[in-house]
Amino acid sequence: MGLLDSMFGGGTNLMLTLDRPTGSPGGVVGGNVMLTGGKKPFKLTKLRAHLIYVNVESSSDGGFPKVDARVIGEQVLAAGMDLAPGGQYPFSFRLTIPYDTLPSAHNTSYKIQVIADIPTVKDPTAEADFRVLPADDDRFRSLPYNEVIALFPGLQAQHEEPLCDALYKLFLECYSDGQKYMEVEPLLAHHMRTGTVRVRRQALQTWANLVDNRVQPQHLQSLYAVANTPGLDQETFDEVIRAACKFAEEGAITMVQQLARVPDTHVREQVARCLRFDAAARFQGKRELLISLVQDPEATVRAAAVGALTDFQDDAQVVYGVANLVDRDPSDDVQAAAVSFLALAHDRGHGDLALTVFERHVQNPSERVRREVAEVLHWQPAAAAQRVWALVQKLLQDPSEDVRRAMAFQFINMERFPQFLPLAQWCADNDPSEEVRREALRGLTRLMPVRQLVAYYGQKLAANPTTDVIYSIISGLRDHNRDREVQQLLTRLGQHHDPDVANAARDALTG
């Protein structure tokens, strides 16, 4: 404020900040205003925020340009208010940009102006330049509150069922268009504070999806308030943990670190899981936090933390540390999680390490660990075929039916290993368990040439197999339903005396 303003403005002052300096027609521009009182008490008649349009057109005769300046949006922020000397009064504003507003151009500009009408002194003002973009170019476009409510009218419902339905629909929409709906954030925060248990939980889940990647300090305060609600049920607190992990790289890392140290095992495990599935892939402090959780006294927490470390598979120290867990951690859940972690280690240059671990643990005392080895082998590259062959052969001879079934099932994902056909066919013909044989039978569709496959399946059908075996054959034929011989075989099966089998064959023929 200049010298004259100070003299005639009585020391009053206005400060203006915009949420962002751009907007688009039909969208919302918002910001914050700080009004400071003067040297003595004053009365505020009205505080207004304006969106001002300015267009300058050159004169054809060389005279003064034609200037069109007018207010195209206004919001009254306060009225009839006493101002104490030196007092500070914060306000926020939301202005809707008219749909017919022209984009900013060399001769078209916009500004936001706030003005306080205070009798007996010069009215303090503050301004900020503002650009209007075409709607398609505005990736931060926010719809006005009333338009969001029109899209999700249940958000104002008084009953639990329609309100929760609307909250869930908005939750889904926020995955792709969260920014558009930011104007209802205060309403969601209200439901988080005042709703029933079910409403509060759904509102929290939706709110976290809405503000994710757009977190402001007030959002963190809202989350802290919910977290400290007395008597909060476990499911809602799980949503608090999920939200904190979502916001970790936006200011909530301290809260996540505190949650990772609480005595409740469930909370620590939930933190580890949410760091994997809900948090950003990397942010400052995530690696160190997960490494500390890998040393947790509870196996379930350690296993969840190992899974979350997959974001750091390019870190050799992490990869070797996880590989060592398969040898030294007493929990088979942790060992299995570590095996799963190594499934794609070859993509980061650690393929030999991973295969060495698999070879050492293909005879692990734990069925859980051996089954995990079977379930990850299909990720191996074709260049590792010789070592993978030996592993598959051992797993198909495992004493556990579950392990053999897991290995047989994965033949469907091993099309890059056509040389494994003899192993799959041997399993389909010889395993003592029909369920294992069925899994291998279905997997042959990715390994056996189609003519050979039709002939082989024909032999199996001629032996009057069980209905479950026929379903496996139909499933295997589905992948080749454009082949003439396959179509003939499916057509024949479509006339089967069992109507369910016949329907499955016809579905495979057209699917």
Question: Using the 8-state DSSP alphabet, how is residue 105 labeled?
Answer: B
The per-residue pLDDT for range 77-124, each reduced to its tens digit, is: 999 999 999 999 999 999 999 999 999 999 999 999 999 999 999 999
Tokens of 102: 């022209």
The per-residue pLDDT for range 174-208, each reduced to its tens digit, is: 999 899 999 999 999 999 999 999 999 999 999 99
Question: 505, 475 in Cβ contact below 8 A?
Answer: no
Residue with tokens 């300096």, as numbered in its chain: 21
- The count of other CB atoms within 10 Å of the CB of residue 222 is 22
- The count of other CB atoms within 10 Å of the CB of residue 313 is 19
H helix or E strand, kind and range, residue 67? strand 66-83
Instruction: Report how far residue 257's alpha carbon sits from residue 66's, in angstroms, rounded to the nearest whole number.
Output: 61
Instruction: Report how far residue 362's alpha carbon sits from residue 364's, in angstroms, rounded to the nearest whole number.
Output: 6
Output the pLDDT for position 2: 41
Instruction: Report how far residue 26's alpha carbon sits from residue 183's, in angstroms, rounded to the nearest whole number.
Output: 13
Instruction: Report how far residue 273's alpha carbon sits from residue 445's, in angstroms, rounded to the nearest whole number.
Output: 36
Output the pLDDT for position 64: 82
Question: pLDDT band at residue 345, thresholds of 50, 70 and 90?
Answer: very high
Averaged pLDDT for residues 359-374: 98
Instruction: Report how far residue 158's alpha carbon sits from residue 203's, in angstroms, rounded to the nearest whole number.
Output: 14
Average pLDDT, the chain: 95
Tell whether the model's pLDDT for residue 5 goes beyond 80: no
Tokens of 122: 């010069």
Tell whether the model's pLDDT for residue 9 goes beyond 60: no
User: Is this prediction's pTM over 0.75?
Assistant: yes
Alpha-carbon torsion, ordered 307, 296, 355, 310, to 10 deg: 30
The per-residue pLDDT for range 61-77, each reduced to its tens digit, is: 767 889 999 999 999 99
Residue 479 CB burial class (10 angstroms; 0-12, 13-18, ≥19): middle
Tokens of 235: 């499911």
List the strands of the sheet with 108-117, edge to edge.
22-23, 125-132, 108-117, 42-57, 66-83
Instruction: Report how far residue 103's alpha carbon sits from residue 110's, in angstroms, rounded to the nearest whole number.
Output: 9
Question: 148, 183 in Cβ contact below 8 A?
Answer: yes
Angle, CA of 189, 195 and 200, to the nearest 5°: 65
Question: pLDDT band at residue 11, thresholds of 50, 70 and 90?
Answer: confident
